[in-house]
């Protein structure tokens, strides 16, 4: 009985190709067909493994904010901002969505607390504003949840 198992295993090894698929019979006088690249590309062994610990980026886009820009006790123009929060992973997306009302409140307070314009007065301070809003989001949601607050869009209108 063990000899039969050895013969069956040897025949199976001869009939199977290196990638585990059964070899097709080759008509005499013809060269064997090369493996099908589509089948090889779709096999699990052909797909590159993702590096451990690398997650797809996850983002939460917030509704636009309107910020009044004051100069000499007068509103000189309005700035409309659309913010996106870069979060750690998909689990964090749900947490941020649940906290949107508190996050929006904290952002509005921060936006109205200090200037969002450059010190020179010639435009929006993107870096400073992004850093301030990131600090607010991390304080509210946690350092492990928030990577960065991104300014997705900014539009200024004169009053």
**Tens-place pLDDT, residues 111-132:** 888 778 777 667 888 999 999 9
Q: Domain limits of the chain?
A: 2-46, 58-158
- CA separation for the pair 127, 116 (Å, rounded): 10
- CA separation for the pair 143, 127 (Å, rounded): 19
DSSP type of residue 117: B
User: Strand runs (DSSP E) across the chain, as ranges?
Assistant: 58-61, 65-71, 74-87, 146-158
Question: What would the pLDDT profile of 51-72 be if each residue is shown by its tens digit?
Answer: 555 567 899 999 999 988 888 8
Under 8 Å CB-to-CB from 33, ≥6 apart: which residues? 24, 26
Does domain 58-158 match CATH 3.30.479? yes
pTM reported for the whole predicted model? 0.63
- CA separation for the pair 137, 133 (Å, rounded): 6
Residues in the chain: 159
| Three-class secondary structure of residue 71 per DSSP | strand
């Amino acid at each position: 009985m063990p000899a039969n198992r050895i013969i069956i295993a040897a025949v199976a090894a001869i009939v199977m190709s290196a990638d585990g698929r059964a070899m097709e019979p080759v008509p005499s006088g013809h060269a064997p067909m090369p493996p099908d690249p589509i089948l090889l590309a779709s096999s699990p062994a052909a797909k590159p493994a993702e590096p451990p610990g690398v997650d797809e980026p996850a983002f939460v886009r917030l509704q636009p904010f309107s910020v009044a820009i004051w100069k000499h006790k007068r509103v000189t123009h309005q700035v409309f901002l659309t913010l996106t929060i870069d979060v750690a992973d998909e689990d964090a997306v749900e947490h941020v969505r649940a906290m949107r009302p508190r996050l929006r409140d904290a952002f509005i307070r921060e936006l109205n607390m200090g200037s969002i314009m450059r010190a020179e007065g010639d435009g929006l301070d993107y870096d400073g504003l992004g850093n301030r809003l990131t600090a607010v989001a991390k304080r509210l949601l946690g350092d492990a949840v928030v990577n960065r607050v991104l300014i997705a869009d900014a539009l200024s209108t004169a009053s």
